[in-house]
Copies of this chain bind each other. A is one copy, B any other.
Amino acid sequence: MDPLNTPVRLHGRATWLLGQASNQGHRLIGERMQATGVPSRSYYPLLAALADSGATSQADLGRRIGLDRSDVTAAVTDLEGRGCLERAPDPADRRRNLVRITEDGLRFLGALDAELDAAQEELLAPLSESERKTLIAMLGRLVDHHTGLRISGTEER
């Protein structure tokens, strides 16, 4: 790319800047994830969700991180082969697979956390500490507004 000559109409648009910044973040993360042997960017959210709550069904897992059920199946199968999680049928509801993270999975998640934090630092390098806080706060308000959180009574009419 030639950033010196990008069209002026894109410079001022928040959507373009968000896309560019997001791409940079994905690039930095991708480089570090690839070094740890993770083949997809969906593995970290998956392990993070498992670490939050104990045993979960695959469908719940997918809903929480915004991943299709079919893709959850593939990722869980691979992570099971790596010993990062265990998958067992739910005795209470035999349609579900109860997935829970293992000790190895927690250790691996910790390693990924460290890489992720380093990537954050790289991405936000040009911003001061207080600027990062305000940026994160504003972005949080944006995604809350558009993902239908609606914390208070902000419904239209």
A positions within 8 Å CB-CB of B: 1-15, 17-22, 24-26, 28-29, 45, 48-49, 51-53, 60, 63-66, 113, 116, 119-120, 123-127, 131-132, 134-136, 138-149, 154
Copy number in this complex?
2
Whether A127 lies near B139 (C-beta < 8 A) is no
User: Is there an interface contact between B139 and A14, defined as CB atoms closer than 8 Å?
Assistant: yes
- Decide if B3 touches A15 in the complex (CB within 8 Å): no
Is the Cβ of B19 less than 8 Å from the Cβ of A142?
no
Contact A63 B1 (CB under 8 A): yes
Q: Using CB atoms, name the residue of chain B closest to A139.
A: B17
Chain B neighbourhood of A126, CB < 8 A: 141-142, 144-145, 154
- Separation of A154 and B53 alpha carbons in the complex (Å): 44
A interface, by DSSP: helix, strand, loop or mixed? helix
> Which chain B residue shows the least CB distance to A64?
B5
Cα–Cα distance between A20 and B145 once the two chains are bound (Å): 11
Residue of B nearest to A127 (CB): B138
Q: In the complex, A135 Cα to B140 Cα: how many Å?
A: 12
Which of B4, B26, B66 meets A149, CB within 8 Å?
Answer: B4
Whether the Cβ atoms of A15 and B6 lie closer than 8 Å is no
For residue A119, give the distance in angstroms from its CB to the closest CB of chain B.
Answer: 7
Question: CB distance A2 to B63 under 8 Å?
Answer: yes
Chain B residues closer than 8 Å to A116, beta-carbon distance: 13, 15
Residues on B with beta carbons closer than 8 Å to the beta carbon of A141: 126-127
Residue of B nearest to A4 (CB): B149
